[in-house]
């Protein structure tokens, strides 16, 4: 019930406008993002990089209203990529297709992502959004992949279709980030029970790591905070002799920080995703829905007003 309510809130325009004005909400979100500007994100990326933890940086936003707005987003990412290169940071970028104009045409998003990839140092990840955008997002990835290998795609373990999608992508030696999935979807589209999603995640992770070992995949990023799923991935990687630079765990900034420190100490490959931007409310609600226990932290900020 709580998860469903949070996912509903993530799609509510009124709440997206109103809630960020409350101080307790802004205080709570600071735990999960270092600030709203690109400089805030890069400053934290530099700090984490100095401690041996590489990062992925993303600008929060989606569903832009015009091609001109999408172009501004692309220009912002290009500037970010140039700064990353100038400072020599181990930072990858992650972009949402609808933030770069997907709803105004696949070609619009393709052009903008290609322009970002030209400047970027390392992989540019294409995030997967709601199920209505899966086919068009895969089309975007395919078109960009034709011109540059330094592009990755995100797949969501909770979608019933994902195993088939992976099968179709494998002939192109894809870079893939696997996530559980955080959008509100009907049961015929996505698995509802946590046990189902976890099992799908395990199965897909094992397949991806084995395909990587066989040379049929590029980079594999396993995005989860679940210690059991992390252990399962590590066990498979060890069994097949996969080197640590061939795959990595990805975790969100500010979540499971003790587990992040444990992974670094154990020399498990880890990369942390740092978000920035003013339009953080939908993203924040989806993060709370993934880990409802974090709602308690929000309530503490309310009491602390």
Instruction: Kindly state whether residue 285 falls inside one of the protein's structural domains.
Output: no
Task: Please tell me the total count of domains within the chain.
Answer: 1
Give the whole-angstrom CA distance, residue 233 versus residue 248: 9
Residue 31 confidence class, pLDDT cut points 50, 70, 90: confident
At residue 279, the pLDDT reads 76
Instruction: Kindly state whether residue 19 falls inside one of the protein's structural domains.
Output: no
H/E run at residue 140 = helix 134-145
At residue 302, the pLDDT reads 37
Q: Under the phi-then-psi rule, with left for phi > 0, alpha for psi from -120 to 50, and beta for the rest, what region is 26?
A: alpha
Closest CA to 245 of 207, 225, 271, 265: 271
Question: Of 2-6, 182-186, 273-277, 285-289, where does mean pLDDT reach its minimum?
Answer: 2-6
Instruction: Kindly state whether residue 155 falls inside one of the protein's structural domains.
Output: yes
Instruction: Kindly state whether residue 45 falls inside one of the protein's structural domains.
Output: yes
Instruction: Kindly state whether residue 303 falls inside one of the protein's structural domains.
Output: no
Residue 284 confidence class, pLDDT cut points 50, 70, 90: confident
At residue 300, the pLDDT reads 47
The maximal CA–CA distance of the chain, rounded, in angstroms, is 55
Q: Which of 78, 121, 127, 212 is catalytic?
A: 127
Q: What is the pTM of this model?
A: 0.88
How buried is 99 (Cβ within 10 angstroms: 0-12 exposed, 13-18 middle, 19+ buried)?
buried
Summarised one tens digit per residue, pLDDT across range 136-174 is 999 999 999 999 989 999 999 999 999 999 999 999 999
Q: Which of 78, 121, 145, 177 is catalytic?
A: 177
Residue 22 confidence class, pLDDT cut points 50, 70, 90: low
Q: Decide if 72 is catalytic.
A: no
Q: Decide if 177 is catalytic.
A: yes
Domain CATH number, residue 193? 3.20.20.220
Instruction: Tell me the mean pLDDT in the region 40-59.
Output: 97
Instruction: Kindly state whether residue 67 falls inside one of the protein's structural domains.
Output: yes
Closest CA to 174 of 196, 144, 135, 200: 144
Instruction: Kindly state whether residue 23 falls inside one of the protein's structural domains.
Output: no
Closest CA to 121 of 188, 42, 33: 42
pLDDT above 90 (res 183):
no
Instruction: Tell me the mean pLDDT in the region 102-124.
Output: 96
Distances (CA, A) of 110 to 67, 121, 144, 151, 162: 12, 18, 6, 11, 22
Range of the domain at 143: 34-279
Residues 6 or more apart whose CB falls under 8 angstroms from that of 267 comprise 244
Judge whether 279 and 61 are in contact, CB under 8 Å: yes
CA 219 to chain centre: 15
Tell me the average pLDDT of the chain. Answer: 89
Instruction: Kindly state whether residue 97 falls inside one of the protein's structural domains.
Output: yes
At residue 126, the pLDDT reads 99
At residue 9, the pLDDT reads 54
């Amino acid at each position: 019930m709580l998860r469903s309510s949070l996912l509903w809130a993530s799609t509510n325009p009124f709440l997206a406008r109103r809630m960020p004005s409350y101080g307790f909400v802004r205080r709570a979100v600071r735990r999960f993002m270092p600030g709203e500007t690109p400089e805030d994100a890069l400053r934290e990326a530099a700090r984490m990089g100095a401690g041996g933890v590489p990062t992925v940086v993303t600008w929060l936003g989606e569903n832009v209203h015009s091609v001109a707005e999408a172009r501004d987003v692309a220009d912002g990412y290009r500037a970010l990529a140039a700064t990353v290169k100038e400072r020599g940071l181990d930072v990858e970028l992650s972009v949402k297709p609808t933030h770069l104009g997907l709803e105004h045409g696949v070609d619009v998003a393709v052009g903008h992502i290609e322009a970002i990839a030209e400047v970027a140092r390392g992989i540019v990840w294409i995030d997967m959004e709601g199920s209505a955008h899966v086919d068009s997002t895969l089309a975007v990835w395919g078109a960009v992949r034709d011109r540059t290998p330094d592009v990755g795609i995100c797949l969501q373990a909770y979608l019933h279709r994902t195993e088939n999608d992976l099968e179709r992508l494998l002939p192109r030696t894809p870079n893939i980030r696997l996530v559980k999935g955080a959008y509100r979807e009907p049961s015929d589209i996505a698995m509802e029970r946590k046990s189902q999603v976890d099992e799908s995640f395990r199965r897909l992770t094992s397949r991806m790591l084995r395909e990587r070992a066989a040379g049929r995949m590029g980079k594999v990023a396993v995005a989860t905070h679940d210690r059991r799923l992390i252990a399962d991935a590590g066990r498979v990687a060890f069994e097949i002799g996969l080197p640590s630079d061939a795959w990595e765990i990805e975790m969100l900034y500010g979540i499971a920080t003790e587990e992040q420190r444990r992974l670094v100490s154990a020399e498990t490959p880890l990369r942390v995703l740092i978000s920035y931007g003013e339009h953080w409310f939908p993203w924040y609600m989806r993060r709370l829905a993934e880990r409802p226990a974090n709602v308690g932290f929000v309530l503490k900020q309310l009491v602390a007003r």
